[in-house]
Structure 1
Amino acid sequence: MLKKLCIIFFFIFNTLYLFSQDTTFNKFSVGFNKRYGFIIPHRSSLVYITEDHVKSWDITLSYRTNGNKPWHALYRTPELGIGFYHANLGNPNYLGKVSAIYGYIVITIKKYKIIDFSYNIGTGVALLSNHFNYIDNIYNIAIGSQANAYIDFGLSAKFKILNNLSVSSGLQYTHYSNGAWRKPNLGFNIPSVNLKLFYSFYKLHEPEKPKVEDLKSNFIKKNEYSVTISKGVRENAPPNGEKFYPTAICLKAERLVTLRRKIGTGLDVFYDPSLKSRIEDDSITFKNIYNFRSGIHLSHDLVFNKVSITMQAGVYFFTKAKDDGLIYSRFGLRAKIWKNLITSLTLKTHFVKADVIEWGIGYSFNK
């Protein structure tokens, strides 16, 4: 597994390197990062299988945007990159190791001559060496699949050492889970501290001040409306049970309040055939309509040109599934792919409990 991921990362790295031999190469940086953290035992059963801290490292290749697009200026010429992550999960017998390939963005909060403060967001695919199975690993009650979603968020301070060399330190939060498509799926939540060394193929210089005044002066607040249909796959307990395919329809109204942010509200209708067995477990006489749930949500999107990072919090006004509660949330990506056509990839949860990974397509228009 590790060998395959290393080969893939090496191929991507060398491809980017070859393309970067022209004048754009002076926008690239490479980095090596060490992390030290722990698994949050958000279920009491996780306490018994976490024996040690999580020790991890990752290597990254990033490109600093050149400011030739409006969103580059709005986000202070952010860095875009790819990374390879590897971690020992603190229990070699039951939890094993995890490796991931991910893409990420680094956005500067405040920049000075020798130091800058930033936050980073990353997402990708993580592969676990020791997931749950009935034959030789019944004690890993956290994750039942080898392939999982990888989500990463961090805050850091970066210090200039030499013209091309810098070091950063900060806090990182890492999560991987499979969105309940295979049980068990408690997931891993790992906070950590990190220390990272960078080498930039350009001289680190005084902070740039992108000109955004013209963009702001021409900005017009506008409303956007959309309808999206999404599908997912999930599994009820026990592991290796029947697969179900939930569907969701979302009617949404949003307002672009700044060049970087949208706020909105939406009406959700969910159809989830996996609810039947869970409702019957609560000794409720089942009716077909109980496969449906409805809710309303509030949303906030961070906009990067045609792509946005969406965060939603909602409440059910119709549901018979008591074990999930009344509150749900979504986190993920939305993108305009062609004219009014949009697509989305979101993780729907009930607090820290993953419900389903949703793949959506829809139509949007402005008014």
Structure 2
Amino acid sequence: MRFVKKLLAFKSPFNLLKKFVFIFTSFNLVANALGQEVEKLSLESSYGFIIPHSQALKPLSQSNPLGFSLHYQKLNQSQKSWDACNCFHYLGLQFSYHDFGNPPVLGHALSLTGTFEPILWKNERWTFSLLSGLGFSYLSKVYDEDNNPDNIFFSAPVSFLLFLSPKWEYIISDKIALNLSFAYNHISNGGQSQPNKGMNYPMLGLGLVHFMKNYPFPFYEKKMIPKSSNFYLETGLSTREGEEGRIPNLSLVMAFKKPISGINGIGGGLEINKDYSLEVENKRWEALMPAPFISHHFLFGKFDFSQRMAFYTNKPNNYHDFRFYQRYVLNYFLFQNFSIGIGLKAHGHVAEHLDLRLGWSF
């Protein structure tokens, strides 16, 4: 430290040059450790349709949503960032406006989402990626028993937006690119209030991309993924509306997964769900719902996005007509064995609730 102070204090031209070289080298070492960053800003328009996932929604699903979005993204090219995903990936923030084509009943949505976009394939001109987002939506029109009884899609002005979007990007120059995307969007309040049918609306999008910073991509070797099966425990924590306010909804998962390729895995297990908000006829044990499941996993380094199909072996008589349900879980491994994530439970196209997931792998 004294050596640095002396070096910076000495004023001869030669030492001023050494001072500059020292500072430049220091910043260069830090930049190399952090990695150069690609930054881009995208403006996209989109057009789609609403999926009527129940008979009651068919009259409301005849309109075509129109949307616009502004998306800021950053990609860190460091080895550390690569290792987190075993791929290059963008992290971003997206602001979007979706008009549902029925202003008096459905209105529009203003949304702010955090995004994650791993690059699955790339050459000099083309890039193929998978964009996902999770955030909040403000809905201008929601269900009201007196003033808007037809809108059974939404009942809470502030709801959740989730989307998944394969995307092609074509590089025109170092600064400009075009992209084509297909997004599957879902808005619901996660079961926090009723009615909560939720809206599913696919959209085709076309966008213009401006690169604020752009650098050639370095090359990193992909880490070998273990081929052996991996066992894990997982718990889900949330609350749902009940007769006495917010009631706990808990689940415990015992399962395994097995990688079968660089980004794919398969697995299965047992989920035991105890929802204290459900009505029972005699005993609380009626609300204990064991469900074996099979799963597919997208594996991106520390990220694991799983899609699970489960079958109820027991459930309360008044709880859904479905015997099957889906669970979508995005986990991030904070440490080698410990993960934290978000899960969405759905029956067909109807989302039921979001929960916090904590996991431990063996």
If the length of structure 1 is used for normalisation, what is the TM-score? Answer: 0.79
Give the number of aligned pairs. Answer: 328
The residue number in structure 2 matching 1:19 is none
Secondary structure of 2:79's counterpart equals: coil
Which residue in 1 is equivalent to 2:314?
318
Matches of residues 124-273 of structure 1 in structure 2 within 5 Å? 124-203=135-214, 210-212=219-221, 215-216=223-224, 219-235=225-241, 243-258=246-261, 260-273=263-276
Structure 1 residues 353 and 52 mapped into 2: Cα distance closer, same or farther (>3 Å)?
closer
C-alpha distance in structure 2 between counterparts of 1:175 and 1:293, whole Å: 26
Structure 1 residue runs without a partner (length 5+): 1-21, 278-284
Summarize the Cα distance change of 1:302–1:241 in structure 2 as closer, same or farther, 3 Å threshold.
Answer: same
How far off is 1:332 after superposition?
A: 2.5
Q: Deviations over 1:213-270 (max 9, x none)?
A: 6x33xx543443332332223347xxx9965432211122233455544432221111
Shift of 1:360: 2.9
Q: Following the alignment from structure 2 to structure 1, what is the Cα–Cα distance between the partners of residues 239 and 284? A: 19
Distance 1:173 1:109 in 2: 18
Aligned to 1:4: none
Partner of 2:118: 107
Q: How far off is 1:191 after superposition?
A: 1.1
Kept in 2: contact 1:119–1:155 (CA 8 A): yes
The question of whether the paired residues in 2 share the 8 Å contact of 1:73 and 1:210 is answered with: no
Deviates more, 1:22-31 or 1:86-95: 22-31
RMSD: 2.8
Distance 2:296 2:75 in 1: 26
Partner of 1:245: helix, strand, or coil? strand
1:289 corresponds in structure 2 to 285
Say yes or no: does 1:87 pair with 2:98: yes
Shift of 1:349: 1.3
Query: Structure 1 52/260 Cα, relative in aligned 2: closer, same or farther at 3 Å?
Result: closer
* Conservation of the 8 A alpha-carbon contact between 2:50 and 2:62: no
The amino acid across from 1:347 in the alignment is L
Separation in structure 2 between the aligned mates of residue 130 and residue 293 of structure 1, nearest angstrom: 35
Alignment match, 2:20:
none
Equivalent pairs: percent with the same residue? 20
Q: Which of the numbers 52, 62, 71 marks the counterpart of 2:83?
A: 71
Identify if the C-alpha distance between structure 1 residues 220 and 153 changes in structure 2 by more than 3 Å, giving closer, same or farther.
closer
Contact 1:28–1:64 (CA under 8 A) maintained in structure 2: yes
Measured in 1, the distance between the counterparts of 2:266 and 2:190 equals 25
Kindly report structure 1 stretches of 4+ aligned residues shifted beyond 4 Å: 22-26, 240-243, 256-259
Q: Which residue of 1 aligns with 2:332?
A: 335
Task: Give the drift of 1:359.
Answer: 1.8
Q: Which secondary structure does the structure 2 equivalent of 1:183 belong to?
A: coil
Whether the 8 Å contact between 1:275 and 1:290 is mirrored in structure 2 is no
For residue 336 of structure 1, what is the amino acid of its counterpart? F
Question: Which residue number corresponds to residue 10 of structure 1?
Answer: none
Contact 1:73 1:212 in 2 (8 A): no
C-alpha displacement of 1:185 = 1.0
- Distance in 2, Cα, partners of 1:28 & 1:306: 22
Residues 54-111 of structure 1, C-alpha deviations (whole Å, 9 max, x = no match): 1111101111230513437833x22221111111111111211111111222233433
Structure 2: how far apart are the matches of 1:194 and 1:235?
36
Tell me if structure 2 keeps the 8 A contact 1:142–1:185. Answer: yes
The TM-score normalised by the length of structure 2 is 0.80
- Change in Cα spacing, 1:160 to 1:72, as seen in structure 2 (3 Å) is farther
Corresponding residue to 1:61 among 68, 72, 75: 72
Structure 2 Cα separation of the partners of residues 131 and 269 of structure 1: 34
Aligned-pair distance for 1:137?
A: 2.1
Partner of 1:37 in structure 2?
48
